[in-house]
Amino acid sequence: MSRIPLISGNWKMNLNHFEAIQLVQKLSYELRNHDYESVEVSVHPPFTNIRSIQTVIDADRMKFQLGAQNCHAEASGAFTGDVSPAMLQKLDVDYVIVGHSERRAFSGETNELVAAKASSVFAHSMIPIVCVGEMLEQRENGEAEEIVEAQVRGSLADLSKDQLSEVVIAYEPVWAIGTGQTASADDAQAMCCYIRTVVGSIHGPAQTKVRIQYGGSVNGSNAAELMAMEDIDGALVGGASLEAAAFARIVSFQEV
Ligand code: PEP
């Protein structure tokens, strides 16, 4: 079963729309046609930049997939300050990150809410990137698998069988995000393999199809080793995605 790896740049709350345009142009300049042959690349700017980036991608025929970092579960309504999946769909967004650990921690997002968002993203013809991952204390207590399994089951609870094959899961140990401390390739592989088994236990045929990214301080030096692992199908990249050359190194390491 060949799964196309997905390398996603999560720009978080960084860059105004002028800076965002510069970054995507630099990234496009850094990458060559063959870099996209065996990998998909998505960029996830803040909401205020999505329209600008969409326009640049279209005008310059760039090969990036367009992403968002979050959305509301409802298509419209009295939800001041939120952005709906219908609005993202209209901007030709391909992938929407849901349940990032920063949203679980700072905005109190639960597995139930993440499940509703993931389902709504699919209902609007986009693909959710569902984030899961344990905290350091949980890993040290030997609870990592149990925690991650509960997140996977809870966050995918509203998806259909077909959607379980299409969803992207990002395994991001919380202690590795933005810390410079990456999970070892063996530990990352072991958890991604476990997640795959959990998905398979929900719907057998999805086990070999679901794509599972690793995220947490991925950079040009560690990407190759992580991406070589059997059950790791790409990366969700934060800090290193803000530098075109660094992100391009991660993308092109797919070929090694
Ligand atoms: C992330 O934001 O999902 C992430 C993995 O960040 P970083 O690469 O900076 O650790």
**Closest C-alpha among 168, 161, 118 to residue 3:** 168
State the pLDDT confidence band at 253, using cuts at 50, 70 and 90.
confident
Best residue among 8, 129, 217 to mutate for probing ligand 1's pocket (most ligand atoms within 8 Å of CB) is 217
For 4-22, the pLDDT digits (tens) are: 999 999 999 999 999 999 9
Q: Tell me the CA–centroid distance for residue 165 and ligand 1, in Å.
A: 24
pLDDT at 170: 98
Higher pLDDT: 252 or 26? It is 26
Overall average pLDDT of the 222-244 stretch: 97
Nearest CA to ligand 1 atom 2: 238
Q: Is 249 a residue whose pLDDT tops 60?
A: yes
pLDDT at 255: 45
State the Cα–Cα distance between residues 224 and 252, nearest whole angstrom: 9
Q: Which atom of ligand 1 is nearest to the CA of 219?
A: 8
74 is a catalytic site residue: no
Residues linked to residue 128 through DSSP beta bridges, in sequence order? 96
pLDDT at 142: 97
For 39-69, the pLDDT digits (tens) are: 999 999 999 999 999 999 999 999 999 999 9
Contact by Cβ (8 Å): 67, 57: no
Q: Is 230 a residue whose pLDDT tops 80?
A: yes
Residues linked to residue 24 through DSSP beta bridges, in sequence order? none
pLDDT at 1: 58
Overall average pLDDT of the 184-203 stretch: 98
Q: Is 188 a residue whose pLDDT tops 60?
A: yes
19 is a catalytic site residue: no
Q: Tell me the CA–centroid distance for residue 54 and ligand 1, in Å.
A: 23
For 101-147, the pLDDT digits (tens) are: 999 999 999 999 999 999 999 999 999 999 999 999 999 999 999 99
Overall average pLDDT of the 188-201 stretch: 98
Higher pLDDT: 255 or 164? It is 164
The architecture that CATH gives domain 6-90+127-254 is Alpha-Beta Barrel (3.20)
Best residue among 98, 132, 236 to mutate for probing ligand 1's pocket (most ligand atoms within 8 Å of CB) is 236
Which candidate in 40, 44, 72, 100 is catalytic? Answer: 100
Q: Where in the chain are the domains?
A: 6-90+127-254
pLDDT at 256: 42
pLDDT at 2: 86
Tell me the average pLDDT of the chain: 96
Ligand 1 in contact with 220 (CB < 6 A)? no
Q: What are phi and psi of 218, to 5 degrees?
A: -75, 135
Which candidate in 40, 109, 134, 172 is catalytic? Answer: 172
